[in-house]
Structure 1
C-alpha cells in the first residue's frame, strides 16, 4: 500500500534525496521492488499453508 502511494505521488517525499543517486536509480523503485517481493512471498506462504483447501 505504501508503494502504491509513492508511485502515485511520483516519489514526492524522496525526490530531494534522489539527486545524489546515480542516474536511473530512485528510492521509490526500491520501495516498489520490496513491496513486490513481500507480496509474492505472502502469496507463496498462503498457497503452501492452504494446500489441502486448494486441492478440494
Structure 2
C-alpha cells in the first residue's frame, strides 16, 4: 500500500484527499506529509476510512 495507490482509489470513488482529511480529523499537512513518506500506519488508517465510504 502506497500513497499512489490511495490516490488511484480516491479517483475511482470520485473523492478528494480533503474528504479523507475531514473524515479522519487530523490536519491536512500532517496526513499529506506522512502519506508522501509512505507511513504505513497512516496509510492503513486512511484506507480503512476510504473503504467505509
TM-score, normalisation: structure 1: 0.31
Higher RCO structure (Cα 8 Å, ≥6 apart): 2
TM-score by length of 2: 0.32
